[in-house]
Amino acid sequence: MDSPLNPDEEIICQCFQVSDETIKSHIKKDNLKNIEQVTEACGAGGGCQSCHMLIQLFIDQHHKKPPEPQSDETEPGDKKRSFFSKLFKSY
C-alpha cells in the first residue's frame, strides 16, 4: 500500500491492512465524499466491509470539521493515545 506503518497509526481495514492515517490523508487530499471513493483511492473498505462505519466517521469529520477535543483528552503530541481519541482528533 502506501508507506510502512507508523507506531501511532491504527489498522482500520483489516482485510487490506490500511491505517487510519492513510485513510484520512486520502480523504483530505482528494476531498473524498463516500466510502466507495475511499476504497478506490486506498483499498480500505473493499473486503468484509466491517470498517465502513469508521471510514464514514472519518469522511463526516473531514466535511463537518468537528470541534477541538475536550481538555481531558490526551494531547495530540502525546505518544500514547486511545483509539477513540484518534477517531475524534481534528485534521
Q: How far is 46 from 13, CA to CA, in rounded Å? A: 9
* Full-model pTM: 0.67
**Domain total of the chain:** 1
Asked whether residue 76 is domain-assigned, the answer is: no
Residue 1 included in any domain: yes
Q: Which domain holds residue 59?
A: 1-65
- Considering the domain boundaries, does residue 24 fall inside one? yes
Q: For 14-68, what is each residue's pLDDT tens digit?
A: 999 999 999 999 999 999 999 999 999 999 999 999 999 999 999 999 998 655 5
User: 67-86, pLDDT tens digit by residue?
Assistant: 555 555 555 555 555 666 66
Residue 75 lies in a domain: no
Question: What CATH number is associated with residue 6?
Answer: 1.10.10.1100
Q: Which three cell numbers stand for residue 38?
A: 475511499
Domain assignment present for residue 85? The answer is: no
Query: Contact 58/25 with Cβ under 8 angstroms?
Result: no
User: Is residue 88 a part of any domain in this protein?
Assistant: no
